[in-house]
């Protein structure tokens, strides 16, 4: 008799072994060719979850690192996942596979696109795409929030961070250190009920 968690871990491990360079290129190439309207990190995480490459906790750890390091989050994610499954070669091909479809499309069709951006139908499609992308980010945020320990406190803290960064436009690096120190102090106060976090 196995607990669900163990089965999940076994599945994840067997997947880890099977992800070849070819699969990496296919996965990131597909997302790179279909993720319209930006929001690529949300597309990537949603696909990681759907294909069981990563679970919610791993997605969160991935985003922790990739959002806080400089650069485009989606490319950071591709580099990290490529490295995790296929080492240096994976770290090179995964971001390339993610970026090339869009880059080639841009360079080949820039003459057509410039007339397209003025079409009302395209603008209608674009605003609907933007609205859906907002929903995609919110959906991924909700999924990750549901997987976190201490949901209510986490929601409270992330709401404060949202208000500071989103509405008052406080630079992100200024937010990180105080939040980490507060969390650290909070954990120290509650030493008995520390939750285990792996990296």
Partner 1 sequence: MNILFDLFWNFAYIGILSFGNAMSMIPEIERLITIHGWMDHQTYAEIYAMGQLVPGSNMLHIILIGNKVAGLPGAVAAGLGMFGPTSLIVYIVARILHFSTYPAWFKQLYSGLNPITIGLLMTIAWKLGQGTFNNIFLVIVCGVTVLLTVKQVVSSSGIVLLAALIGALKTWLFFH
CA atoms of 8 and 155, how far apart (whole Å) = 26
Nearer to partner 1, 18 or 111 (CB): 111
First vs last Cα of the chain: how many Å apart? Answer: 28
Whose Cβ is closer to partner 1: residue 1's or residue 122's? 122
Instruction: Give the list of residues 6+ apart from residue 158 with CB closer than 8 angstroms, or none.
Output: 141, 145
> Of 20 and 190, which has the nearer Cβ to partner 1?
190
Using CB atoms within 10 Å of the CB of residue 178, give its burial: 0 to 12 exposed, 13 to 18 middle, 19+ buried. Answer: exposed
**Rounded Cα gap, residues 133 and 139, in angstroms:** 10
Least separation in angstroms between residue 31's CB and partner 1 is 7
Q: Please, what is the minimum distance in Å from the beta carbon of residue 192 to partner 1?
A: 14
Nearest approach in angstroms of CB 12 to partner 1 is: 17
Query: What's the closest the beta carbon of residue 131 comes to partner 1, in angstroms?
Result: 4
- Residue identified by tokens 């939040």 is 179
Residue closest to 60 by CA, chosen among 77, 85, 75, 72: 77
Judged by CB, which is closer to partner 1: 8, or 116? 116
* Cβ nearer to partner 1, comparing 3 with 168: 168
Residue 1 Cβ vs partner 1, minimum distance, rounded to whole Å: 28
């Amino acid at each position: 008799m196995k607990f669900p968690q163990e089965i999940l871990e076994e599945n994840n491990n067997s997947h880890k072994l099977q992800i070849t360079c070819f699969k990496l290129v296919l996965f990131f190439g597909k997302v790179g060719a279909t993720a319209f309207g930006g929001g690529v990190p949300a597309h990537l995480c949603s696909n990681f979850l759907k294909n069981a490459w990563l679970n919610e906790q791993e997605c969160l750890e991935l985003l922790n690192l990739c959002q806080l390091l400089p650069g485009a989050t989606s490319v950071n994610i591709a580099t990290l996942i490529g490295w995790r499954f296929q080492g240096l070669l994976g770290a090179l091909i995964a971001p390339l596979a993610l970026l090339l479809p869009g880059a080639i499309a841009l360079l080949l069709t820039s003459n057509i696109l410039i007339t397209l951006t003025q079409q009302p139908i395209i603008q209608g499609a674009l605003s609907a795409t933007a609205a859906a992308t907002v929903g995609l980010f919110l959906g991924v945020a909700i999924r990750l929030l549901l997987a976190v320990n201490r949901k209510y406190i986490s929601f409270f803290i992330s709401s404060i961070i949202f208000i500071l960064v989103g509405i008052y436009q406080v630079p992100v690096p200024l937010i990180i250190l105080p939040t980490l120190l507060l969390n650290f102090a909070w954990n120290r106060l509650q030493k008995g009920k520390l939750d285990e976090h792996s990296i």
